[in-house]
Structure 1
Amino acid sequence: MLQRALCGLILAVVLAPPRLHAQQTARPVLHGKHWVAITGKPLAATAGAMMFQKGGNAVDAACAMLAATSTMWDTLGWGGETQALIYDPRTRKVIGINALGVAPTGATVEFFQKKGMRYPPEYGPLAAVTPGTPGGLMVMLAEYGTLSLREVLGPALQMADEGYPMEAGGVRDIERHKEKLKQWRYSREVLLPHLGEAREGPQPGEVFVQKDLAATLKKLVEAEQQALAQGKDRKQAILAAYDRFYRGDIAQELVRGVQEEGGLITLEDLARWKVQLEEPVKTAYKGIEVYKLTSWVQGPVLLQALNILETQDLKAMGYNSARYIHTLYQAMNLAFADRDFYYGDPYFPPAEPLRGLLSKEYAKSRAKLINWEKNDPNVKPGDPYPFQGEKNPYLQLLQQWPPKPPAPEKPAAGSQQTSIEDFERTFYAGTTAIQAADEKGWVVSVTPSGGWIPAVIAGRTGVGLSQRMQSFVMDPAENPFNVLEPGKRPRATLTPSLALKNGKPFLSFSVQGGDSQEQNLLQFFLNVVEFGMTVQESAEAANITSFQMRNSFGDHTPKPGKLVLQEQVPPWVRSELKRMGYEMTFEARTSGPIQAIYFDHPHGTLWGGASNHGDDYGIAW
Structure 2
Amino acid sequence: MADRLTGQPFTTRSEIIAQHGMAATSQPLATQVAIDILKQGGNAIDAAIAANALLGLVEPTGSGIGGDLFAIIWDAQSQQLFGLNGSGRSPISLPLNYFSQQKLTAIPAFGPLSVSTPGTVDAWYEMHQKFGSLSMATLFQPTIDYAEQGFPMTETISIEMALSAKHLQGFPNFAQTYMPNGMTPTKGTLFKNPHLANTLKHIAKYGRNGFYKGDIAKTISRYMKDNGGFLNEEDLSQHKSEWVTPISTHYRGFDVWELPPNGQGIAVLQILNMLEQHDISRMGFGSEALIHTVIETIKLVYEDRAKFYCDPDFNHIPIKTLLSKDYAQKRNALIHYKANLQVGSGMSGSHHIGQNLSALNHGDTVYLTTADKQGNMVSLIQSNYRGMGSGMTPTNLGFVLQNRGQLFSLHPQDHNVYQPNKRPFNTIIPAFVTQNDKPWLSFGVMGGPVQPQMQVQILMNLIDFKMNLQEAGDAPRFLHAGTSQPTGKKMTQGGYISLESGFSASVMQGLIDRGHDIQDLSGEFGGYQAIAWNDKKQVYFGASESRKDGQASGY
Instruction: Please give the TM-score of this superposition, normalised by the length of structure 1.
Output: 0.84
C-alpha distance 360-179 of structure 1, shift in aligned 2 (>3 A): closer
Does the CA contact (< 8 Å) of 1:551 and 1:558 recur in 2?
Answer: no
User: Does residue 45 of the first structure (1) align with residue 31 of the second (2)?
Assistant: yes
Corresponding pairs, count: 552
1:522-541 CA-partner distances (Å, limit 9, x unpaired): 01001100111001000001
Supply the AA of the counterpart residue of 1:470. Q
The Cα RMSD (Å) is 2.4
The residue aligned with 2:343 is: 379
Work out the CA distance in 2 between the residues paired with 1:396 and 1:24: 45
1:333-385 CA-partner distances (Å, limit 9, x unpaired): 1111110101101122x3211111011111111111112x21112111112xx
What are the equivalent positions in structure 2 for 1:179-194 lying under 5 Å apart?
A: 179-194=166-181
Does the CA contact (< 8 Å) of 1:31 and 1:607 recur in 2?
Answer: yes
What are the equivalent positions in structure 2 for 1:235-250 lying under 5 Å apart?
A: 241-250=207-216
Work out the CA distance in 2 between the residues paired with 1:35 and 1:23: 31
Shift of 1:462: 1.8
The residue aligned with 1:206 is: 189
Give secondary structure in 1 for the equivalent of 2:113.
helix
The residue aligned with 1:543 is: 477
The residue aligned with 1:427 is: 361
Work out the CA distance in 2 between the residues paired with 1:170 and 1:18: 29
Task: Mark the runs of 5 or more structure 2 residues left unpaired by the alignment.
Answer: none
Work out the CA distance in 1 between the residues paired with 2:354 and 2:406: 20
The residue aligned with 1:343 is: 309
Shift of 1:439: 2.4
Work out the CA distance in 2 between the residues paired with 1:253 and 1:587: 39
Match of 2:501 among 567, 581, 584: 567
1:65-122 CA-partner distances (Å, limit 9, x unpaired): 1101112214222210001111111222111111111101233321112222222111
What are the equivalent positions in structure 2 for 1:274-285 lying under 5 Å apart?
A: 274-285=240-251
Match of 1:294 among 260, 283, 299: 260
Shift of 1:553: 7.3
1:175-230 CA-partner distances (Å, limit 9, x unpaired): 334354332222121112213xxxx233432322212211111112222xxxxxxx
Shift of 1:172: 2.9
Supply the AA of the counterpart residue of 1:397. S
Work out the CA distance in 1 between the residues paired with 2:296 and 2:19: 40
The residue aligned with 1:70 is: 56
Work out the CA distance in 1 between the residues paired with 2:364 and 2:287: 28
Does the CA contact (< 8 Å) of 1:430 and 1:514 recur in 2?
Answer: yes
Larger Rg: 1
The residue aligned with 2:14 is: 28
The residue aligned with 2:468 is: 534
C-alpha distance 60-556 of structure 1, shift in aligned 2 (>3 A): farther
User: Does residue 581 of the first structure (1) align with residue 515 of the second (2)?
Assistant: yes
Give secondary structure in 2 for the equivalent of 1:244.
helix
The residue aligned with 1:594 is: 528
Work out the CA distance in 2 between the residues paired with 1:571 and 1:246: 54
What are the equivalent positions in structure 2 for 1:131-530 lying under 5 Å apart?
A: 131-195=118-182, 200-223=183-206, 241-348=207-314, 350-371=315-336, 373-383=337-347, 395-398=348-351, 403=353, 405=355, 423=358, 426-450=360-384, 452-453=387-388, 455-477=391-413, 480-530=414-464
Give secondary structure in 2 for the equivalent of 1:55.
coil
Shift of 1:21: 5.3
Work out the CA distance in 2 between the residues paired with 1:85 and 1:464: 25
Does the CA contact (< 8 Å) of 2:410 and 2:488 recur in 1?
Answer: no
What are the equivalent positions in structure 2 for 1:31-110 lying under 5 Å apart?
A: 31-72=17-58, 73-110=60-97
Shift of 1:558: 4.6
Supply the AA of the counterpart residue of 2:40. K
Supply the AA of the counterpart residue of 1:209. K
Work out the CA distance in 2 between the residues paired with 1:168 and 1:474: 38
Which range is displaced more, 339-348 or 570-579?
570-579
Work out the CA distance in 2 between the residues paired with 1:252 and 1:557: 41
What are the equivalent positions in structure 2 for 1:106-121 lying under 5 Å apart?
A: 106-121=93-108
Work out the CA distance in 1 between the residues paired with 2:378 and 2:417: 31
C-alpha distance 591-171 of structure 1, shift in aligned 2 (>3 A): closer
Supply the AA of the counterpart residue of 2:388. I
Does the CA contact (< 8 Å) of 1:289 and 1:499 recur in 2?
Answer: yes
1:574-607 CA-partner distances (Å, limit 9, x unpaired): 2221111111235788863111111111100111
Work out the CA distance in 1 between the residues paired with 2:33 and 2:137: 13
Work out the CA distance in 2 between the residues paired with 1:110 and 1:590: 34
C-alpha distance 568-362 of structure 1, shift in aligned 2 (>3 A): same
Does the CA contact (< 8 Å) of 1:69 and 1:76 recur in 2?
Answer: yes
Work out the CA distance in 2 between the residues paired with 1:309 and 1:24: 24
Shift of 1:18: 9.9
C-alpha distance 21-320 of structure 1, shift in aligned 2 (>3 A): closer
Does the CA contact (< 8 Å) of 1:295 and 1:354 recur in 2?
Answer: no
| Identity fraction in percent | 29
Supply the AA of the counterpart residue of 1:468. R
Does the CA contact (< 8 Å) of 1:296 and 1:346 recur in 2?
Answer: yes
Does the CA contact (< 8 Å) of 1:493 and 1:552 recur in 2?
Answer: no
Does the CA contact (< 8 Å) of 2:353 and 2:484 recur in 1?
Answer: no
Does the CA contact (< 8 Å) of 1:107 and 1:484 recur in 2?
Answer: no
Does the CA contact (< 8 Å) of 1:122 and 1:554 recur in 2?
Answer: no
Supply the AA of the counterpart residue of 1:97. L
Work out the CA distance in 2 between the residues paired with 1:355 and 1:616: 37
Instruction: Please give the TM-score of this superposition, normalised by the length of structure 2.
Output: 0.94
Supply the AA of the counterpart residue of 1:453. M
1:483-530 CA-partner distances (Å, limit 9, x unpaired): 111111001110110000011111111011112211111010011001
Supply the AA of the counterpart residue of 1:300. I
Does the CA contact (< 8 Å) of 2:26 and 2:544 recur in 1?
Answer: no
Does the CA contact (< 8 Å) of 1:497 and 1:510 recur in 2?
Answer: yes
